[in-house]
Chain A
Amino acid sequence: MARIDLNHIRHAYGANPKSDKDYALREVHHSFDDGGAYALLGPSGCGKTTLLNIISGLLHASHGQLLFDGRDVTRLSTQERNIAQVFQFPVIYDTMTVYDNLAFPLRNRGVPEADVDRKVRETLDMIDLASWAKRKARGLTADQKQKISLGRGLVRSDVNAILFDEPLTVIDPHMKWVLRSQLKQLHRRFGYTMIYVTHDQTEALTFADKVVVMYDGEIVQIGTPAELFERPKHTFVGYFIGSPGMNVMPVAVEGKRAKLGGQVIDLPGAPKAEGNGIELGIRPEYVRLGAKGMPVTIRKVEDIGRHKVVRASLEGREIAAILGEDENVPADPHITFDPAGINLYDKSWRVEMGA
C-alpha cells in the first residue's frame, strides 16, 4: 500500500489545449494517505474517471506529476505501477475457472505455482467464493463476477492501491449493500488504500472516510461525510449532497445581518464579504417551521416515510424544509433558520463568518 500524491495534475484529451474548457481535469493537487478509504464523488462528466485512470496509468496526464510513496511514477506503465482496478462492468475471463481468473495476474508475473495456490486460496476465502473455485467464471451472477474482478486485485498482496470505478452500477440493490459492507470489512482488516469513484452520494458517504467532491474538472471539497454535510465549501456540494439539496438564495449582507427581499436574517457572525453574488445556503434540515419568523406559502408536502419534505415559497423563491414524521404544518406557516446551519457563499465559494 502506498501514499499517493497528485502534484498539479492537469489532463486534456485533445492535443493543444488552449483554454480551461479543453481540460477534462483542470488542476488537481491532492494527496491520498496510505491506507485511507476515499470516495471520488461527482456528476457524470466531472473528470472522476479521468482522474482514476491517471492514477492507474491507463491514461498519462498531460501535465503534472504523480508520486507513490514519494517515488515518481508519472511515466510508468500500469503494470509497473502495480495497481488494482475494478471497473463499472464486471471484467472476467469467461473461459477460465474462478480459480484461474484469480491466478491470472500472478501467473502473468511469473509467481511460482505454490505461491499462486496459497494466495488464490486466501483470496477466495476473503471474497467468499471458495466453494466456486472450480466453476467456469461465465456462469456466475453479476455480483460474483464483480467480486472476481476485485479478487484479481486483492490476490497481489503488494498492490499500491485498489481503485474502483462505479463498481456497483450493475449490481442489484440488495447485493449493493452486502458488497459495500464487505468492502469496508476488507479495508478495516487489511488497510488497503482504496479510491472509489461514484456518482451516488449514499455509496460515497457510507464507503469512505474522506469524500472528494469533484465538479467540472476540479476538486471542490475534500472532507468527512459530516463536513460535507455541515459546511459545504461550494454551493455545488450543497446541492449535490443531501436530499433534498441545500437551499441557496441571493442575499445582501450588512454587518451581522442578511437581507432577503423584505426579510432580515440574523447571521451567527459578520462575514468578510460584500457586494453582488453573495448567497445564503441552508440545508432543509435546519429550516424550522412554526408560528413565528418569515411568512411562507406552502406549495406541497411530500411524505417520504421517516420525515416529510415541505416545499414552500419564501419571497417568491422555492425553499425546502424538513419536518418530523409526527409534526404538522401550522395553519399560518412561518419559518426561521437555525444559525448553526447558515453558510454564506461569495461567487459560489463559502466565506468564513467572523464573530
Chain B
Amino acid sequence: MEKTWNNKAWFMVLPVLVLVAFSAVIPLMTVVNYSVQDTFGGNQFFWAGAEWFEEMLHSDRFWAAMGRNLIFSAIILAIQIPLGIFIALNMPRKGWGVPVCLVLMALPLLIPWNVVGTIWQVFGRIDIGLLGYTLHALGFDYNYVNDPFDAWVTVIIMDVWHWTSLVVLLCYAGLVSIPDAFYQAAKIDGASRWAVFRYIQLPKMQRVLLIAVLLRFMDSFMIYTEPFVVTGGGPGNSTTFLSIDLVKMAVGQFDLGPAAAMSIIYFLIVLLLSWVFYTVMTNYDVEK
C-alpha cells in the first residue's frame, strides 16, 4: 500500500508541547538564566558566566549534601526494593484478603508529604510521641533532635513506611499477571521455591521493578518535605539534603545565582543516574 507522507500530525502534539513548555521548559530556562548571572536585588542582573558552577563544584557544602543524598537513596533502594518484593510475594492472590491488603498498602501513599512528616515528627518525640516515649521508657537513648544517627534512622523508617507500598503495588501487579501455567510447569519441572522466584517471578517483574527503582530513586534523591518537617535538616547539617540546602540558599539567603547553578547540577545528576539505572536494567539480559 502507498503511504502518503505529511507532517500534519505534528499539530496533534502541539497542545502537549505548549503545556510542557509552560510547566517545564520555561521555568527551567529561567533557572538557566539565573545560573549565569548575578543580582543584588532590584531587577538588576550582571553576567557571571560559569562562575557559580565553578563555585558549586568546589563547594564542600554542596558535595557533603550530595554525599548524604547518595547514601540516603542507596539505603532507601536497598531496603524498599527487597522488602517490597517480599511483601508482594506474600500477599494473597484471591479471596477477601486481596482488597484488604491493597487498601492497607495504598493508605500511606494517600497521605500528603508534610502530613507524613508531621506524623513522624510527633510520633518520635520523647516527651509526647508514642515511639519516642516508649523507646525512652524502655531505656533506649533515642532522640532525633540531638543525635544524627537517630535522625537518620527516623527519616529512613519514615520513608520506608511511606513509600514501600508503591514498590509492593507495582510488584504485585507484575506477579498477578503471570499465568498459572508457569507455576504448573515449574511444579512439573520440579523447581524449588527459589527457582520459581529466580526464573519465573523475577524476570516477569523486571519491567515493573525498573519503574519502581526509577521512581524510588528519583523521589528519594529529591527528598525534601519530610526531613524538613521532622528534623529541619539537623541536627547540625546531618540531614541537610541537596533540596533542603537549595531552598535555604535560594529562599533563605536569596543567593539566586549559586542556587540556580546548584539546581542545574542537581537536575543533571538525577537525569544521569536515572539513565544509568534504565540502561543497566534494560540491557541486563539482552541477547549478546
Contact = CB atoms under 8 A, between A and B. Distances in A.
Contacts of A12: none
Contacts of B200: 93
Given A109-B190, A135-B287, A85 B184 contact: yes
Interface string B177-190: 00101101101111
B26 interface: no
Contacts of A94: 203-204
B181 A88 contact: yes
Nearest to A96: B199
A91 B287 contact: no
Given A87-B181, A89-B181, A104 B188 contact: no
Nearest to A108: B190
18 contacts: A77-B187, A79-B190, A85-B185, A85-B188, A87-B185, A91-B181, A91-B182, A91-B184, A93-B200, A94-B203, A95-B285, A96-B199, A104-B191, A105-B190, A108-B191, A108-B195, A149-B185, A152-B185
Given A89-B181, A91-B182, A79 B199 contact: no
Interface string B148-175: 0000000000000000000000000000
Contact of B188 (A83, A88, A93, A139): A83
Size category, A interface: 20 to 34
Contact of B199 (A77, A95, A109): A95
Contacts of A199: none
A83 B181 CA distance: 15
A94 to B, nearest CB: 5
A92 to B, nearest CB: 9
A58 B179 contact: no
Interface string A52-73: 0100101000000000000000
A56 B195 contact: no
A79 B287 contact: no
Given A96-B199, A136-B285, A152 B189 contact: yes
Contact of B189 (A88, A104, A136, A139): A104
B201 to A, nearest CB: 11
B187 A78 contact: yes
Contact of B185 (A53, A77, A91, A109): A91
Contacts of B253: none
Interface in A133-189: 135-136, 139, 149, 152-153
Contacts of A109: 190
A180 to B, nearest CB: 21
Contacts of A84: 188
Interface of B: 179, 181-182, 184-185, 187-192, 195, 199-200, 203-204, 285, 287
Given A58-B184, A78-B184, 15 more contacts: A77-B187, A79-B188, A85-B184, A87-B184, A89-B179, A91-B181, A93-B200, A94-B204, A95-B285, A104-B191, A104-B199, A105-B189, A105-B190, A136-B287, A139-B287
A53 B181 CA distance: 11
Contacts of A58: 184, 187-188
A87 B190 CA distance: 16
Contacts of A91: 181-182, 184-185
Contacts of B184: 53, 56, 58, 78, 85, 87, 91
A93 B199 contact: yes
A149 B189 CA distance: 10
Nearest to A152: B189
A83 B195 CA distance: 19
Contacts of A153: 188
A54 B94 CA distance: 22
Contacts of B195: 104, 108
Nearest to A105: B189
Nearest to A79: B190
Contacts of A136: 285, 287
Contacts of A139: 287
Contacts of A135: 287
A152 B192 CA distance: 16
Interface in A29-75: 53, 56, 58
B203 A56 contact: no
B183 to A, nearest CB: 9
B287 A108 contact: no
Contacts of A149: 185
A321 B187 CA distance: 50
A104 B192 CA distance: 11
A299 to B, nearest CB: 40
Count chain B CB atoms within 10 A of each CB in A93, A108, A149 and give the residue with the most.
A93
In order of increasing CB-CB distance, the 3 nearest A-B pairs are A91-B185, A108-B190, A105-B189
Contacts of A104: 189, 191, 195, 199
A7 B195 CA distance: 35
Nearest to B184: A58
Count chain B CB atoms within 10 A of each CB in A53, A78, A95, A135 and give the residue with the most.
A95
A95 B203 contact: yes
A91 B181 CA distance: 7
A87 B185 CA distance: 8
A119 to B, nearest CB: 14
A140 to B, nearest CB: 11
Nearest to B181: A87
A83 B185 CA distance: 10
A95 B181 CA distance: 17
Contacts of B203: 93-95
B281 to A, nearest CB: 13
Count chain A CB atoms within 10 A of each CB in B188, B190, B199, B204 and give the residue with the most.
B188
A196 to B, nearest CB: 16
Nearest to A155: B189
A139 B204 CA distance: 15
Contacts of A88: 181
Count chain A CB atoms within 10 A of each CB in B184, B203, B204, B287 and give the residue with the most.
B184
